[in-house]
Amino acid sequence: MRKTYGLLLLSIGCALSAIANNSYAAILPGTAFWSFQSTPAGTGAGNAFTQAVTVESFAGTPTFARAGNAFRTDLGGGASSFVLGGVTYSGDPGNTNGSNPGNVAAWDQNSKDNSFSVTLDTTGFQDLQIRLDYRNNSTSNGVSSFSYRVGVNSAVNVIVPTMPRVNNGSNAAIFSAWSTSLTNVTAINDRPSITLTWNLLDVPDQTSFRLDNLLITSSPIPEPMAVVAGLLGASSLLRRRHSSQF
Ligand SMILES: [Ca+2]
């Protein structure tokens, strides 16, 4: 009887867990995404800039932080609409005054000591990949360095692509996609707390730097039993192949 009751509780637990996961749409495990807007539509009275993670499926709740001394939260628009897990996060790359859909994280003119960072729990995950959209009005590269930190250890620099200004031919900066693979940075795999930091150059007068659609993905680390089962399967296959040769 007690066993049946336990199984029932387990079934209810699984059902509740499935319901909770539905709120994350169809994102894969080991994903974190920031749209920087509180509604997918990114417009209207219910929408505002937010740096809380939009959807995530890591062990803990990933956090985003930025440094600088001149932020803007009223810059709407953002990069082009981005689709993740079947949800469209609207944006309008042509917008500059906040009246169109979408929000971004923005550093305003003359902002100094600029950076942004993400802290997350990678327990059970490896092979991190990152993509984002940026709009850099300055003639200099947006990102000056990139580093990772495991727990409270010292930051370690990693060479990543820069974020140069890209314009549309009429001297107006436009959003560009940026990505990097951290597959070779194995120190950040399967850790309870890692921090990734992008250091940005000073933002000159009459310019701005904008960030949108920050997406981190990763791969589940195979369970030891799955690895053993895989090895046993492979050795059994080899044995059969070997014996069939005689
Ligand atoms: Ca956005």
Computed over every residue of the chain, the mean pLDDT equals: 84
**What architecture (CATH level 2) is domain 25-241?**
Sandwich (2.60)
CA of 212 to the centre of ligand 1 (A): 5
CA-nearest of 119, 92, 104 to 208 is: 104
CA of 100 to the centre of ligand 1 (A): 11
The pLDDT score that the predictor gives to residue 52 is 97
Residue percentage of the chain with pLDDT more than 90 = 61
Map residue 37 onto helix, strand or coil.
strand
Give per-residue pLDDT as tens, 2-55.
Answer: 444 444 444 444 333 333 333 446 899 999 999 999 999 998 888 999 999 999
CA of 190 to the centre of ligand 1 (A): 29
The pLDDT score that the predictor gives to residue 22 is 38
CA of 221 to the centre of ligand 1 (A): 30
> 137 with 201: CB under 8 angstroms?
no
Higher pLDDT, 76 or 114: 114
Give per-residue pLDDT as tens, 172-188.
Answer: 788 999 999 999 999 99
CA of 213 to the centre of ligand 1 (A): 6
Domain borders along the chain are: 25-241
Size of the chain in residues: 246
CA of 35 to the centre of ligand 1 (A): 4
CA of 20 to the centre of ligand 1 (A): 24
Q: 173 has which bridge partners?
A: 167
Give per-residue pLDDT as tens, 123-177.
Answer: 999 999 999 999 998 888 889 999 999 999 999 999 999 999 888 777 778 899 9
> 91 with 102: CB under 8 angstroms?
yes
Give per-residue pLDDT as tens, 220-233.
Answer: 999 877 666 666 66
Sequence-distant (≥ 6) Cβ neighbours of residue 128 within 8 angstroms: 122, 181, 182, 183, 185, 188, 189, 216, 217, 218
The pLDDT score that the predictor gives to residue 18 is 35
The pLDDT score that the predictor gives to residue 35 is 96
Higher pLDDT, 240 or 112: 112
How far does Cα 187 stand from its chain's mean position?
18
CA-nearest of 84, 77, 70 to 34 is: 84
